Amino acid sequence: MILVTTPTVPGKTIKETLGLVRGNTIRARHIGHDIKAAYRNLIGGEVVEYTKLMAESREQAIDRMVAAAEGLGANAIVSMRFTTSVIMGGAAELLAYGTAVVIG
């Protein structure tokens, strides 16, 4: 599966547009990570616990979006984007979306 943030795939022709595909995940913070993060906030530096949580969330959302595109018969996703939203205190949604296409 080819994923691009551009509306076309360089060197390829879009033969068919199959429609919007998306994948999302909602993750909550972990109390142990919150304690470590609060400590890092005092001394400075990257909050690696949250960096890891967000990286895992992005990968899961992408995997779900790709599965949706494959279900439609796509071999590429163009105009791919991410968005996030807070669901409640301590929980956030990460959404990956794009247009499923067949390229040749």
Q: Where are the domains of the chain?
A: 2-103
- The residue with greater pLDDT, 50 or 71, is 71
Long-range contacts of 6-13 (CB under 8 A, 24+ apart): 6/78, 6/79, 7/78, 7/79, 8/78, 9/76, 9/78, 9/103, 12/76, 12/103, 12/104, 13/103, 13/104
Q: Looking at the predicted structure, is the pLDDT value of residue 98 above 90?
A: yes
Token reading at 7: 């509306």
Reported as a single tens digit per residue, the pLDDT across 45-65 is 777 777 888 899 999 999 999
Q: Which pTM value belongs to this model?
A: 0.83
43 Rama class: left (phi>0) / alpha (psi -120 to 50) / beta = alpha
Q: Which CATH superfamily is domain 2-103 in?
A: Hypothetical protein apc22750. Chain B (3.30.110.70)
Spatial separation of the C-alpha atoms in residues 4 and 2, rounded to whole Å: 7
Spatial separation of the C-alpha atoms in residues 91 and 24, rounded to whole Å: 13
